[in-house]
Amino acid sequence: MMITRSASQDDLPYIVDAYRLAFAFDEARTTNYVSMVGLEHFRVLEVDGLQAAVWALLPSGHWLGGKAVPAANIAHVAISPEHRGTGLAGVLLEAACKDAMRAGALIASLFASSRPVYRKAGFNLAGSEIIYEAETAQLYRVREEAASTRLDLEKVGVLRDIYDRSCRIDAGRLDRSDAHWNCLLDRSSSIPSAFVFGQNDGYVLLDTADPDCLVLRDYASLNGSASRQILKFLGSFSTVYPRVRWHGAPHDPLIFALPDKGWHLTHQEEFLLKLLDPAEALSRRGYACADMHFSLEIHGQDIEHLSVSIVDGIASVNQDRHAAMTVSIAAIQLPSLYTGFRSAAFLRHAGGLDGPDEAIMMLDRAFAGPAPWVGEHF
């Protein structure tokens, strides 16, 4: 018999053991992570009365079209070795998605260790995680004076405000909960330092623990001047740190502002997403397109018909069936279309959807925008 329940203090030894076997975490790292995230966000799956798997379910959101769509991040999934390969992952994901929906999430997202398992559960590619590195010696060439102010870490509200403002003009990024901010501000291994630029036009959260590479745990920039100020500021560390590393966008503002070569991409992978309630999720994201109307015929275990009307950037969705402007899409491809990670034209070329040319072009306009990405690995 299988049951899913919230974790309790009595489960902590199991979580430590499961994360040691799954991620090579030592006890200190696991207990610190549980403390930052909150034990109340952990779930345990039991098989015949014994703990078999654990994961965290983090309240969150994803910014799309200037709006934050309620979401849940399924994080740090660990299945005990003796239960791997038994189909437990599918049971776990179904339980996690139901749990997320009860909490009000319309979409669920995660990073996958094995994509086929998660695709079978309805998750698919939805955006990027990218890490860049640049040589600090190149940054002195930036033509901008850096007007920075040191920020007390207790004033995290200032960072949250700048971050949220930057997300409204971007796509995919997390609407962070306290758990996400706690992880970014973690002081267990090193104490980060926060600096704000201009009139709260940008910030950096620095980690100076590695003498070989200065790390931006987080940054945000609201305009070109802030991006150049950040680069100039980072260049002032060049006598100690030869390189600087940060999470950035495919269209990254700091890369755009760099005066020359001297940077490279060090890591890239994709996060996966599932629409828990397609109709409501479509209605809650924003749209930067002209008014339009189209229908989606979603082919999964069943066929779902959704009629979408967009007026002034707001979508109303119902289950009416219309013959005109109907696009047929495989349910597994809907996450990639929804976030704009893949265009309708590309998905048709790849065989993931089909419809008349005019309808395909309409969907391309509806879901157009910046390439979706996230600034952390959750």
What's the pLDDT tens digit per position in 340-372? 999 999 999 999 999 999 999 999 999 999 999
In the numeric block, which tokens belong to residue 194?
């926060």
Contact 324, 362 (CB under 8 A): no
Domain that holds residue 50: 2-122
The continuous run of DSSP H or E covering 119 comes out as helix 115-120
What does the pLDDT average to over 225-242?
A: 97
The continuous run of DSSP H or E covering 150 comes out as strand 148-151
What does the pLDDT average to over 316-338?
A: 90
| Confidence (pLDDT) at 262 | 87
Residues 212 and 326 both lie in one domain: no
| Confidence (pLDDT) at 90 | 93
Distance of CA 292 to the CA centre of its chain: 28
Residues 303 and 184 both lie in one domain: no
- The CATH number that applies at residue 306 is 3.30.1050.10
Nearest-angstrom CA–CA distance, 332 and 152: 45
What does the pLDDT average to over 323-336?
A: 92
Which residue(s) pair with 79 in the sheet? 53
- Would you say residue 374 lies in a domain? no
Residues 71 and 104 both lie in one domain: yes
| Confidence (pLDDT) at 340 | 98
Residues 107 and 51 both lie in one domain: yes
pTM score of the predicted model = 0.94
Nearest-angstrom CA–CA distance, 69 and 106: 7
- Would you say residue 372 lies in a domain? no
Residues 216 and 249 both lie in one domain: yes
| Confidence (pLDDT) at 113 | 85
- The distance in angstroms from the start CA to the end CA of the chain is 30
What's the pLDDT tens digit per position in 280-325? 999 999 999 999 999 999 999 899 999 999 999 999 999 877 667 8
Which residue(s) pair with 43 in the sheet? 6, 55
Task: Answer with the one of 122, 142, 174 that is the final residue of a domain.
Answer: 122
3-state secondary structure of 158: helix
What does the pLDDT average to over 218-233?
A: 97
| Confidence (pLDDT) at 323 | 64
Q: Residue 127's closest CA among 103, 101, 107?
A: 107
- Would you say residue 106 lies in a domain? yes
3-state secondary structure of 279: helix
Residues 297 and 238 both lie in one domain: no
What does the pLDDT average to over 262-273?
A: 96
Contact 347, 327 (CB under 8 A): no
| Confidence (pLDDT) at 146 | 87
- The CATH number that applies at residue 211 is 3.40.630.30
- The total of structural domains in the chain comes to 3
Task: Answer with the one of 122, 152, 169 that is the final residue of a domain.
Answer: 122
What does the pLDDT average to over 11-22?
A: 98
Task: Answer with the one of 270, 302, 325 that is the final residue of a domain.
Answer: 270
Residues 281 and 263 both lie in one domain: no
| Confidence (pLDDT) at 345 | 98
Query: 214-221 and 243-248: which strand pairing?
Result: parallel
Residues 307 and 362 both lie in one domain: yes
Residues 102 and 190 both lie in one domain: no
What's the pLDDT tens digit per position in 125-184? 999 999 999 999 989 889 888 899 999 999 999 999 999 999 999 999 999 999 999 999
- Would you say residue 376 lies in a domain? no
With a cut of 80, say whether residue 231 has pLDDT above it.
Answer: yes
Residues 253 and 298 both lie in one domain: no
With a cut of 80, say whether residue 219 has pLDDT above it.
Answer: yes
Name which residue leads in pLDDT, 323 or 91.
Answer: 91
Contact 130, 373 (CB under 8 A): yes
Residues 11 and 95 both lie in one domain: yes
| Confidence (pLDDT) at 44 | 98
What's the pLDDT tens digit per position in 180-209? 999 999 999 999 999 999 999 999 999 999
Cβ-proximal residues to 182 (8 Å cutoff; 6+ apart), any chain: 36, 37
- Would you say residue 93 lies in a domain? yes
pLDDT-above-90 percentage for the chain: 93
Contact 214, 241 (CB under 8 A): yes
Nearest-angstrom CA–CA distance, 184 and 171: 20
Residues 82 and 58 both lie in one domain: yes
- Would you say residue 373 lies in a domain? no
Sheet of strand 243-248, all strands in order from the earlier edge strand to the far edge: 2-6, 42-47, 50-64, 67-79, 107-110, 263-275, 124-135, 243-248, 214-221, 202-207, 193-197, 148-151
- Would you say residue 375 lies in a domain? no
